[in-house]
Amino acid sequence: MATALAVTLGVQTTLAQSTSTTSTKKKSNSILGDILSSATKGSTLGDVLGSVTGLNKITAESLVGTWKYNEPGISFVSDNLLLSVGGEVAAAKIKSNLMTQYKKVGITSSNTVFTFNKNKTFKAKIDGKPLVGTWVLNESTQMLTLNTLLFNLNGYVRENTNGIELTFESKKILTLFQTVAKFSGNATLSTIGDLSKNYDGMRVGFNLTK
């Protein structure tokens, strides 16, 4: 009888542990599911991960052409899924904030344009102010280097559903906006640059379409 009781208790304990483990896994999966669901409203999980990790790469050949501003661009890199998804939600809020600032500046599809030529020269307008120089794309890292008489700037490009995203490390885009602000007299551009400094580790810039 004692042996039978011990076996019964052992089975019950094992079942209880199994049930507890299953419950914990379900709870964890539920939490992850809620996070993913919240982060991916209006987009697929692939879109979210693509924008965070930069999985969608482009070539120098596909970059050639004229690209017009569509909306602010936000991106960053993280190997941790939960951090990435949480970051994507934060990025959506930051993009909304930048959208407001861009509108105050007056950045539109007609006055903010990038043209990349096959001979590796480029022409650009930011808030209507021209920039010219040369460009080099590292297809492996997706780093796009813009060389002008005023500055050299490293940015990053990737494909998205509407075209391409051109972003710069938040501290470096300040250089771009400050330079344009000097020629345009538009102090709000510098404000955007100052704002971007608060998002250390993120890339800020433009979503562009042909």
Residue 20 lies in a domain: no
Residue 27 lies in a domain: no
What is the model's pLDDT at position 81? 42
Residue 51 lies in a domain: no
Angle, CA 43 vertex, CA 195 and CA 198 arms, to 5°: 10
What is the model's pLDDT at position 193? 56
What is the model's pLDDT at position 153? 92
pLDDT by residue for the chain (210 residues), tens digit each? 544 444 444 444 444 444 444 444 444 344 334 433 443 444 444 444 444 445 568 999 999 999 999 999 987 655 444 455 566 677 777 788 888 888 888 889 999 999 999 999 999 998 888 899 999 999 999 999 999 998 899 999 999 888 999 998 877 777 777 777 676 666 666 566 565 556 666 788 999 999
Residue 126 lies in a domain: yes
Reported pTM: 0.67
Q: Which domain holds residue 124?
A: 57-209
Residue 125 lies in a domain: yes
Report the CATH number at residue 107. 2.40.128
Residue 32 lies in a domain: no
Q: Which residues contact 113 (CB under 8 A, 6 or more apart)?
A: 66, 67, 68, 69, 124, 125
What is the model's pLDDT at position 203? 82
Q: Which residues contact 203 (CB under 8 A, 6 or more apart)?
A: 73, 74, 75, 76, 155, 156, 167, 168, 169, 170
Residue 184 lies in a domain: yes
What is the model's pLDDT at position 84? 53
* Helix or strand holding residue 157 (H, E): strand 152-159
Six-digit token string for 100? 């407001």
Residue 10 lies in a domain: no
Domain count of the chain?
A: 1
What is the model's pLDDT at position 74? 83
